[in-house]
């Protein structure tokens, strides 16, 4: 842990947002797989903390991870459906001579 307080919540949220974003971009036709992997890993890793004596699973931590995963997947869907085609059309245009 780098710092305490709100930074930890932002770190958890951000890590799962990036994870969800990149996994969806890697497997755009498999939304169910991406959701199960991202959201399932958030819950599973939080539950596995109960097996270690120095770690304590918390519901709030799991919620932060789940919200980050959902935000990442949602932003990847929006990016791929609206922004990415525009970028491709701009890059694919021939330049006038």
pLDDT tens, residue by residue, 61-95: 999 999 999 999 999 999 998 877 777 676 666 55
Q: What is the pLDDT at residue 92?
A: 61
Report how far residue 23's alpha carbon sits from residue 70's, in angstroms, rounded to the nearest whole number: 12
Q: Is residue 12 part of a domain?
A: yes
Looking at the structure of the chain, the number of domains it has is: 1
69 found inside a domain:
yes
**46 Cβ partners below 8 Å, 6+ apart?**
57, 58, 61, 62, 65
pLDDT at position 56 is 83
Q: What integer pLDDT is reported at residue 94 of this predicted model?
A: 58
Contacts of 32 (CB under 8 A, 6+ apart): none
Q: Taking the chain, what is the end-to-end CA distance rounded to the nearest angstrom?
A: 56
pLDDT exceeds cutoff 90 at 57: no
| Residue 35 domain flag | yes
Domain residues for 10?
6-91
Q: Which two tokens stand for residue 18?
A: 């990036």
């Amino acid at each position: 842990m780098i710092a305490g307080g709100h930074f930890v919540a932002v770190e958890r949220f951000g890590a799962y947002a990036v994870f969800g974003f990149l996994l969806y971009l890697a497997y755009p036709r498999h939304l169910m797989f991406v959701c199960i992997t991202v959201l399932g890993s958030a819950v599973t890793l939080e539950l596995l903390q109960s097996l270690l004596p120095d770690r304590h699973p918390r519901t709030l931590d799991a919620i932060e991870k789940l919200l980050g995963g959902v935000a990442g997947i949602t932003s990847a869907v929006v990016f791929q459906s609206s922004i990415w085609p525009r970028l491709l059309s701009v890059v694919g245009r021939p330049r006038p001579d």
